[in-house]
Chains A and B, each alone.
Chain A
Amino acid sequence: MTIVLVACGALLGVAALLLVIRIALGPTMLDRMVALDVLVAVVICGLALDAAVHRHTTTLPVLVVLSLLGFIGSVSVARFTRGSDDIEAEAS
């Protein structure tokens, strides 16, 4: 199970790094929101990996809360934003 932990940890770490690069690049707020949604899913996968390797159930309620949190974040940003915080993307 240690090999699984290391392999999955590396894959999820690379995924999180790519998503952080996309959040930094943007160019619009909605791009960042989509990437942030997937970043929350990466965190859920990481917590589930930890629970599976160490066979404990303490983080399972956190998984339920996180699975709703990303949804509420993107819906509120999509609903209440005027699209973009980036003038270049707005103009093009």
Chain B
Amino acid sequence: MTWTAVADVAAATCLVLGACLTLVAAIGILRFPDVLTRMHSATKPQVLGLLVVMLGLGLRLRDPGTIGLLLLVAFFQLVTSPIASHMVGRASFRAGQVDRDRLVVDELSEVLDDPPSSPFPHSPLQ
């Protein structure tokens, strides 16, 4: 058994695992009750699934020139996914769509009730 065959088997395993994780994320998004829990499912299993798929693609192509592009895709996912979730969660909270009875810790309400403590009182993101 040559090392290329081993790499192909590893790549196939990675691809199937990544597809399974993406399916788990989709099931979570369909089944969970509100935006915050859906965001949990949309960020963690989905990003891990995409990283595993990129690993599988790199193992299958075995081309040094493409590894940079694959790393770029993985890097963009890791950087942008938390930012997008943060913005979506904040917008949802501000629009009053979060069921506050379900929250265990609610630190954002304390900050919102006390605006002078903010270092940037006129920031558009506040």
Interface residues of A (CB under 8 A from B): 1, 4, 7-8, 11-12, 14-16, 18-19, 21-22, 28, 30-31, 33-35, 37-38, 41-42, 44-45, 48-49, 51-53, 55, 57, 60-61, 63-64, 67-68, 70-71, 74-75, 78-79, 81-84, 89-90
Contacts and interface: CB of A to CB of B under 8 A. Distances in A.
B12 A1 contact: yes
20 contacts: A4-B16, A7-B19, A8-B15, A11-B20, A14-B26, A28-B35, A28-B92, A30-B91, A45-B50, A45-B53, A49-B15, A52-B61, A53-B60, A55-B61, A67-B73, A68-B76, A75-B87, A78-B84, A79-B87, A90-B95
From DSSP, what is the main secondary structure of chain A's interface residues? helix
